[in-house]
Amino acid sequence: MRARLLAEMYGVETRRLNEQVKRNIKRFPKDFMFSLTQKELDNLMSQIATSGLTTNLGRHSKTPNAFTEQGVALLSSVLNSDTAIEVNIRIIRVFTRLKEYTLTHKEILRQFAQLEKEVKGNSRDIENIFAVLRELIEKQSHPIPRNKIGFKRYNE
């Protein structure tokens, strides 16, 4: 996302955003922020012109910065607008929830591992139980002929 659009989103002037980025440049590695090349900027301008949107891209002496998701999130911690503060608080809350969620799932995975160990230790017993059950089922499907009990008629 371009710096100008982010400045609007966070409710600050573009120059203020750029100042904060320069002051905190160590926080913005290349996978968080990069400068658009002139070719990328020209391509972006042509796409916007084709779509019918109007914009202030114009010519820059220096190509504008663009930010990845991580850079957008990090901007919320270096800017001091109400919107940036609110976004930063929301990000922290989401990370806290994710940590709790991960810890809960980690406990479940630990319990599954424990259960798996117990089942593996008992697998021979379980196999024996299934073997006996198979034998019982086979015996029931082939019943042994029995003598009838009870009153018999003479003609039978």
**Digits of tens for pLDDT over the chain (156 positions)?**
788 889 998 999 989 999 999 999 999 999 999 988 888 888 877 876 654 444 555 555 567 888 998 999 999 999 999 999 999 999 999 989 888 887 777 777 778 778 777 777 676 777 777 777 777 777 666 666 667 766 666 765
Q: Domain-by-domain residue ranges, the chain? A: 3-80, 103-141
| Beta-bridge partner residues of 33 | 67
Residue 84's closest CA among 12, 23, 10?
10
Structure tokens at 20: 């904060």
pLDDT for the residue numbered 66:
87
pLDDT for the residue numbered 47:
76
pLDDT for the residue numbered 42:
83
Helix axes 82-121, 69-78, angle to 10 degrees: 130
Q: Report the distance separating Cα 27 and Cα 14, nearest Å.
A: 18
pLDDT for the residue numbered 53:
45
